[in-house]
């Protein structure tokens, strides 16, 4: 332990509880969870073009399986802890359980990447279609407003001046909105082919994936 801990943090009595990189108990949890998830997955409807509904069903199924498994094993660990005189050993077992859940969760999510890509493409297509439909309407409205602005270019009364200022303000706001729409439409039209044609490289995804385990859940470190 001296190689990885400064003297002030080195507690020799914890040496036997340092967690190995490979753990039979963790692998057993992983195998059990994967088996239950596969069984639950077989009962879900196939992804028939409704990617969001499919992912929602998978998420619900995953939560039910993992929550049930964790509750069962955690309760066993609680009872074991009450009967044990070595809390660190139980703490290590709890860590193996949580490690297994994290690893299984990551694997499960990676399987969803094709459906997530499908949802992204659908959202971009909808946004592109919407903006192509709405932009001409906005430009037509701006043309009407510009005519109103021109009508009150030389106001003869305070009322006409106020009307001219009102139409000018609305027209300027609409012009900014049209500009934002056009900029976003150009970005979406550029991004859409890339999204359609992109391939999912799990190796690249894993190289950019970071899992944060907030706080200490039992590393015995």
pLDDT digits (tens, 9 = 90+) for 122-178: 999 999 999 999 999 999 999 999 999 999 988 889 999 999 999 999 999 999 999
Residue 2 lies in a domain: no
87 and 157 within one domain: no
82 and 13 within one domain: yes
141 and 106 within one domain: no
Number of CB atoms found within 10 A of residue 71's CB? 10
The encoded tokens of residue 61 equal 């199924």
* Statement: residue 6 has pLDDT above 80: no
Please give the tally of structural domains in the chain: 2
Q: Which pLDDT band holds residue 14 (cuts at 50, 70, 90)?
A: low
Domain of 28 in residue numbering reads as: 7-111
pTM: 0.66
65 and 98 within one domain: yes
* Statement: residue 4 has pLDDT above 80: no
CA distance 67 to 60: 10
Number of CB atoms found within 10 A of residue 87's CB? 10
182 and 135 within one domain: yes
Last residue in a domain, options 86, 111, 136: 111
């Amino acid at each position: 332990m001296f190689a990885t801990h400064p003297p002030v943090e080195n507690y020799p009595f914890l040496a036997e509880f340092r967690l190995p990189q490979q753990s039979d108990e963790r692998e057993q949890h992983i195998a059990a969870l994967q088996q239950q998830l596969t069984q639950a997955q077989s009962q879900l409807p196939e992804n028939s073009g409704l990617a969001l509904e499919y992912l929602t069903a998978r998420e619900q199924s995953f939560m039910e399986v993992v929550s049930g498994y964790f509750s069962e094993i955690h309760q066993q660990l609680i009872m074991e802890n009450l009967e044990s005189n070595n809390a660190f050993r139980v703490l290590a077992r709890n860590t193996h359980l949580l490690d297994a859940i994290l690893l299984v969760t990551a694997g499960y999510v990676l399987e969803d990447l094709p459906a997530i890509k499908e949802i992204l493409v659908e959202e971009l297509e909808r946004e592109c279609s919407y903006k192509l439909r709405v932009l001409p309407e906005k430009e037509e409205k701006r043309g009407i407003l510009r005519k109103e602005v021109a009508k009150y270019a030389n106001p003869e009364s305070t009322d006409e001046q106020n009307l001219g200022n009102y139409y000018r303000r609305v027209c300027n706001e609409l012009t900014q909105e049209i500009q934002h729409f056009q900029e976003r439409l150009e970005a979406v039209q550029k991004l859409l082919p890339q999204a359609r044609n992109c391939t999912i490289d799990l190796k690249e995804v894993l190289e950019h994936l970071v899992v944060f385990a907030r706080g200490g859940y039992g590393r015995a470190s």
